Structure 1
Amino acid sequence: MNVIADEIKLKQDALAYRVCEKIKELKLGDSAVLYYNFPLYRGDLPEDLIQAQLLLASPIYGILYFKCIESNRYLTEDEEIYLDNLDVSIFNRLNKRSELRKTRRELKFNVAPIIVADKDEIVNDKKYVSLPNLKQAIEDNKTTVLNDEEYNILLSCIDGTSRLTTKKERKTSFNEESKLKADILNRIQNKEAAFDLEQKKVALVTIDGPQRIRGLAGSGKTIILTMKAALYHMAHPNEEILYTYYTKSLFGLIKNLIERFYRDFADNREPDWKKIHILHGWGGLELGGVYSTACTDNGIEPITYNIARLHSPNPFDYVCHSILETGKITPKYDLTLIDEGQDFPDHFYQLCYALSKEKRIVWAYDDFQNIFDIKLQDEKDTFGKDKDGNYLVDFSKNAHPLQDIVLHTCYRNPRIALIAAFSLGLGIYNTKVLQRLEDNNHWELLGFKVESGESKVGDKMIISRPIEHTPNIINQELGIYTIKVQAFSDYASECRYVAQCITNDIQDQKLRPDDICVICLDNRNIKSYYSLLSKMLIKNGISTFNLVEAPNANKHFFYDNYVTLSTINKAKGNEAGMVYIIGADTIFINRDNVLLRKLNSSYKCNGIHINNLF
C-alpha cells in the first residue's frame, strides 16, 4: 500500500497517524492508496473546505474515508454534516464516470465512512469502530474487484487528473486498429491520464519549506506545479501564490491547467486570479514579471535590459542581484512555484526566496536542459547564505523526506525519440564524444539503465531506456517510425516537402492544423524558411501562427485552426501532435562544435513526438 502524505504533519496528528499505521499493518495490497488530508473540495463559500482526514482507495474495498476522534466522545452535529457533505462530494465525482457505475445511481463499489473511536457502537445511525476491529470494518466493505482500467479511472477522479486529457474534435474512422494519424492521436487523448506514485507524492502534498522536483522534459513537472497551485488556492483562498516561468508562450498552458484543476475540485468555480500571480521571470512594460513587479511593489526603479547588458554578460542575473542589494524587498507570497528552474540564474532564486513569506518555495528543474552544464544543481550555492553565513537551503540536513524528488518516468516523449535526442545531443557517435555524464548514478537518475560500463574514460558503455520509464503508447503505435528523416538539396525543396506533408496531414490524415507544429533550428535563415513555408501553406488553404513575428508580449503557442511555426526556445515546454523539424543541417555543419550542438540540447527537450500526455 502507498501512503500519500506530508509525513511530518501526519505524525503530528496522533489520531490519524495511529490509524494510518494500523491500516499499513493490514497489508491491503500494492495497488491500495491511503491519502492524508486529501481529497479536498470547495464548499458553498471560499472559506468552506471539505477534506478527508484519511481516505483509502482500493480495487477490492472501494473508497473508505476515516474520521478519527478522541476518547469518550461522539461526532458533533457539525461533524456529521461535514462527513455527509464529503460523502456527497466523493460520490458525485465518481458517479460522473459511466465506467464506474453499476446503475444510474449506484457505483460498482462502496463509498463509506469509518469513524475510528475507542469502542465499537452505533450512535445516530453512525458506526463507531475501535482500532482492534478496524480490519473487520474494512473487510465488510469488500465488493466486486475493479479491473485495472476501472481502478485507474477511480484514482484519476480522486487525484484530479481526469481533467488532464484535452480532447479535440477530429473526423476519424473510429477503428481501433486504424493507423490514421487522427485516430492515433485520438487514442492517445482518450487514454486515462493518471499520476504515477512519484508524481502523486509530490503533486498532492505541499510541504512547509523548500522543495525541488527534478526530471526530464515530459516527466510532469508543469502538471505537478499547476496542481499544487490549484490545491493550495483551494485550501488557502486568501493567500498569495506566485507561479513564475521562463518561456513566455507557456503562460496560456499554465493558466489553463490551474483553472482546470481548480474547477475540478471546486465544483466548476473559477479561481480568484487576484490571488494567483502567473508572472514571467523578468517582465517589462507589456508583460508582468517577478522582477518588474517586485520593483513596483517596493518602490524601486527597474533596470532595463539595454542598461543591464552593459554591466554584465548575464543581464537578468545582474538586475536580480541589484534589487537584492537594495535590501528593500518585502515578502509577499505564501507559496512560490518556479517552473523551468534550470533556465534561471542563482540571484533569481534568491529574489524569489526573499519574496516568499514562509519560504514555502517549490521549483521544477531539468538536469539535462543544457549540455554545457550537466552537473546536478547544488541548492546551497543556488540560494546562498544568510547574514550569519548559514545556507538558506540545505537538503543535506534532511529536513523533509519530500524536499528533493526525482521523477524517473518520461511520459511525453516516445522512447526512440528520447534515446536519439540524447545520442545526438551528447555527440556519442562522433569521433570524439562532446559531453558525458559524470557517473552511472546520473544516468539512472534520468531514468536510463546502464547495461555495461562505469562512465569512465575508455569504457565501452551500453545504455538503455526501460520501457516503464518511457511508456508513451506511440512506442507501440509507430515504433521506429516515430522519427522520419529526409534530406534536401536546398531549403525551398525542404519547405515544399514539409508543406505537402502538412497538407496531407490535414486533408488525408484528418489532423487539425493546431495539432501541428514546425520548429526551425536554423536561426540565421528562420525568417526565410517561414516566409516561404507560410506562402506554400496558404495556397493550400492552411493558415499559420508564426511566433517569429508575434509581439514580444505574446503568451500563446497555439491558436485554433492554425499551424504553429516556432523557434526552439519558444517551443520549449509545449507539445504538439505532429512536429516537423526543419533546418537541422545547421547543427551538423561542424559535427564537433559543441556550441552548435547546444541547439540540439534544446531540440531534445521539445522532442520529436506525436503527442504528450504529460
Structure 2
Amino acid sequence: MNDDESNSNLFIQKDIEENQEFVDVISDIKAFIKNYPIEDQFYLIDRPLIDKKYTYDYQGKSLVLLSTNYKILCIDLGKNVHNSFDDYVDDFWEDIGSIVSEYNFIKTVGRTRTLNQSDFIVKIKKEELEGSFKGYNIEDSKIRRKLRIMVSLLIGSINDAERIGSEVPVTPLAKIKQNIKLFDSEQIRFIYNTGNNKVVKIQGLAGTGKTELLLHKLREIYIKEEKNKIFFTCHNKTLASELRKRIPTFFDFMQVKKQIDWHNRLWVSHAWGSSQDSNSGLYAYLCDFYDIPFLRYYHNMTYEDIFNELLQSLNSKKDNEGNAFEYAFDYILIDESQDFPDVFFKVCEMVTKNKIYIAGDIFQSIFDIGIDNNATEVDFVLNKCYRTDPKTLMFAHAIGMGLFEEQKINFLEDDEWERCGYIIDKKTNDTDLILKREPMRRFDNIDNLRPINIEYSLETEEKVLSIIDKLRKTYSDLRPEDISIIFLDNNYKDVSKNIASLKYLLEEKFGYTANNAIETKRTEENTVFITNANNVKGLEFPFVICITNSINSDKQARNRLYTMLTRSFLESYLIINQQNELSIENEKGLHDYIMNGFIKTTRLKPEQIQKIRTRIKAKENLNLEDCLEGVFKELKISKDKQEKIKKLVTQTFFDKPFDKDIISKFVHEFEKYV
C-alpha cells in the first residue's frame, strides 16, 4: 500500500485499475477530483460491487463514477453503437432497483420505475469529464438521501433499512442514529482487495470503522463455504457480548440466508474463557481441541506467559504430527488487537488454515512504545474518524500524550503524526509543532461547536445530573441508552459506591434505569450505561461523561482518558474532582485549540522521543501478587488480613484471567468475612 493510495478519496474497482485501456480516463478523473474536499468520497466502478452476478454487454466500454454529494456519472468510453450505452445505463438503473428491493429499502427509496432517472444519473462522454460535477450537485434533501442509499448499496456498504427509516431525520440525534454509512476508499479496499497474505492487519484511530469492517468480512467468509469454521474474538468481555448481540441483526439486514450455526461454524467470545466450557473463549477452545492442559494463573504467571506455553505445546504437537496437524479454524477475526501480546497472534496464525484479520487502534498502541515504523506489517491504515468529532479526537490525543504539558507522556515523529491523519504545518519554526486535521462531514447539517467539555466538581453525582438535565433540554428525543457514564480511576470501592448512588439518583430525578456494566458486561436497551474503563472498549454512544479524581502523569491513566473520551458521537464531558496544574494546562490547551482550530505544542527532538519510549517500554505488566499489593494499598487492607485474602484470591483465580478492577472488587467483597 503506498501513501498516495491510502490518502486518496477515490476508490477504483480493481479490474478497472489494472486495465491499461482505462489509464487515460483514470488519470483525468484523478485530476479533477483533486479540486474537491477530501471529505467528498468517490468510487469508480462498472458494475455493482455487492454481487458478482451483475454483468453487462457494454462492460469495458463504460464506467460509473459514484460520489457522496453528486449525481451518478455514467461515462461512455465507446461510440454507443446501436444505443448500447443507453441500454447499459438503463440496465444499471434497473439493477439498482433490484438491489434496493433485495435489501428492503423500497419504503425509503421507492421503485426505480416510479423515480425520475435523470434526478439521479447523468450520461456523459469521456471528453466531458473535466469539471463534470459542476451543476450536478443535489440540493433536495430527500433525493440526496435516496442517492446515498443507492451508492451505499452499489459499493456494498450496506445499512440497516429499519435503522435508516423512511423519513429524512430532523433532530441531531435522529441524524446520528439514521446516518447512512458509506465506506471510504481505504475501507472498501479492505472489503474487496485484501490480497493473498495469511495475516491481514488493519490499524486505525478510534471511530474509523474497524469493527464494522470486520463484521462485513465475517459476512463474506461465512457465506463463502458451508463448512468454514470462524472465531471472532477480542480481549474485552463486554465487547464480545456486544458483538454476539449485533451479529444476528447484522446478518439479517445483510441478507445472509444461512442460519448462524453457533459453536459449530461460528464462535464469538473473548480470548480467554473457562476450563469448564470449551466454547467460552478462544484459549479454552484451543486447549480442549488440542488436548492441552488449561493453565491456571498463579503468582508469577502472566497472560503472555500462558500463551507462550500454549505456543510451545502447539509447536511440539505439530513437530510430532507433521502433515496430520489439524487446524482448529479456517478464519480468525481479532478486534482491539492492541490489547494482546505478540505471542497471541502467533498462536492464532498457527491454528488457522486460511486467513486472520486483525484490527487495532493505532493510537492506543502508541501508549506501549509508539507506532510500529515497519509499514509493511500493516496492510490498511484508517485515519478518517467518522464517529468522534475531530475536536474531541484531537483533544483526546493531546491530553493522552501530554501535548499541552511541559513534560510529555509520549510523542510521535512527523511521519507517525501523518499516519494518524494529522497535517503538520511546515511553516512553523523548529521549536513549535502545529497539528491540524482535515475537516470531516460526519453527519448532515449538525452544527456542534463545543463537542468536548471540562467540568470541575467535588460533587460528582450532582454534576452528572446537571449535565444530563442540560442534555434533556437540548435534545428532545434523548433516550437513556444514548448516555454512558465512565469512571476512569481504578479504586473499585469508591466507584462501586458512586455507581450505586447514581443509579438511585437517575431513577429518582429522571425515571432512568441504569445498567452497572462492571457487573453485567453488556449494554441494555433503555438504560444508562455506567461502567469503568475496562468495559467500554469498542462501544459508542452519542454522549459520554467521563469522571476522574484528578489528571496525573500515569501512562495507563492517560490511555484510558484518550480511549473513553473518543466513545462519543456528539459530546464528551470530562468531570475532574480536583483541579491541579496538569488539569489547568490541559484546560488552557483545549481553550486555545477551540479558538484557533489547531494544536500547538513544543516539538521534541528524536533523542527525546526515544528516551520517552524507552521509559514506557521498561514498564512491565503486573502479576497477581503485584496487583494485590496495589489493591491492598488502595483499599487500606490491614496487614493481619492480607495473607488470608491473598491465599483466597490465589485459589479463586487459578483458572481465570484478572485485572486490577476484578481483584479490587473481589477483595472489597470478601474483606468483611476475613
Q: Same fold (TM over 0.5)?
A: yes
Match for residue 549 of structure 2?
Answer: 585
Aligned-residue offset at 1:227: 0.6
Aligned to 1:494: 460
Residue number among 335, 338, 357 corresponding to 2:334 in the alignment: 338
Name the structure 2 match of 1:575: 540
Q: Which residue of 1 aligns with 2:512?
A: 542
1:36/1:338 CA distance change after superposition, 3 Å: farther
Q: Which residue type is aligned with residue 153 of structure 1?
A: I
Please point out which of 384, 387, 391 is paired with 1:409: 384
Output the CA distance in 2 between the equivalents of 1:252 and 1:375.
30
1:503-544 Cα offsets, whole Å, 9 max, x none, are 564588431111111000122121121111112123233211
Aligned ranges for residues 318-329 of structure 1 at < 5 Å?
318-328=308-318
Alpha-carbon shift at residue 263 of structure 1 (Å): 3.2
Does structure 2 retain, via aligned residues, the 8 Å contact 1:63–1:111? Answer: no
Q: Deviations over 1:203-232 (max 9, x none)?
A: 234433222111101011111111111122
- Aligned equivalents of 1:362, 1:313: Cα separation in 2: 21
Note the C-alpha offset of 1:430: 1.9
Question: 1:211 is matched by which residue type in structure 2?
Answer: V
Percent identical pairs in the alignment equals 22
* Secondary structure in 1 matching 2:364: coil
Aligned to 1:245: 234
Q: 2-side partners of 1:282 and 1:569: how far apart? A: 15
Structure-2 residue corresponding to 1:461? 433
CA distance in 2, matches of 1:24, 1:50: 25
Indicate the SS of the match to 2:432: coil
Tell me, in whole angstroms, the C-alpha distance in 2 between the residues paired with 1:277 and 1:503. 41
Question: In the alignment, what sits opposite 2:655?
Answer: none
Distance 2:246 2:155 in 1: 14
Equivalent residues of 1:243, 1:338 under 8 A apart: yes
Q: What's the counterpart of residue 214 of structure 1? A: 203
Identify if the C-alpha distance between structure 1 residues 97 and 292 changes in structure 2 by more than 3 Å, giving closer, same or farther: same
1:124-139 alignment runs, 5 A limit: none
1:390-469 matches, within 5 Å, as: 395=376, 404-437=379-412, 439-452=413-426, 459-468=431-440
Q: Hey, what does 2:174 align to over in structure 1?
A: 186
Unaligned runs of 5+ in 2: 1-8, 34-40, 77-91, 130-134, 319-324, 573-674
Whether the 8 Å CA contact 2:100–2:153 is kept in 1: the answer is no
Matched residue of 1:461: which SS?
Answer: strand
CA shift digits 1:245-279 (9 cap, x unpaired) = 12221234434554445434437664444423223
Identify the residue that residue 576 of structure 2 maps to in structure 1: none
Q: Quick one: structure 1 residues 406 and 459, their matched pair in 2 at CA, closer, same or farther if it must change by over 3 Å? A: same
Superposed counterparts of 1:377-396, under 5 Å: 377=372, 395=376
Q: 1:497 to 1:376 in 2, by over 3 A?
A: closer
Match of 1:280 in 2: 270
Match of 1:39 among 49, 55, 60: 49
- The answer to whether the Cα contact below 8 Å between 1:320 and 1:348 also exists between their aligned partners in 2 is no
Kept after mapping to 2: 8 A contact 1:93/1:157: no
Q: Which residue of 2 aligns with 1:158?
A: 154
Is the Cα contact below 8 Å between 1:222 and 1:254 reproduced in 2? Answer: no
CA RMSD of aligned residues (A): 4.3
Deviation at 1:371, TM superposition (A): 4.7
**287, 293, 296: which one aligns with 1:301:** 293
Q: Distance in 1 between matches of 2:389 and 2:205?
A: 13
Paired amino acid for 2:356: I
* Equivalent pair of 1:259/1:271 in contact (CA under 8 Å): yes
Structure 1: 5+ residue stretches without partners = 12-16, 42-48, 66-82, 113-133, 139-143, 177-182, 380-393, 397-402
Comparing both structures, which one devotes a greater share of its residues to helix? 2
CA distance in 2, matches of 1:445, 1:190: 30
Secondary structure in structure 2 of the residue aligned to 1:217:
coil
Q: Aligned partners of 1:605, 1:298: CA distance in 2, in Å? A: 40
The answer to whether the Cα contact below 8 Å between 1:518 and 1:564 also exists between their aligned partners in 2 is: yes
Secondary structure at 1:485 match in 2: strand
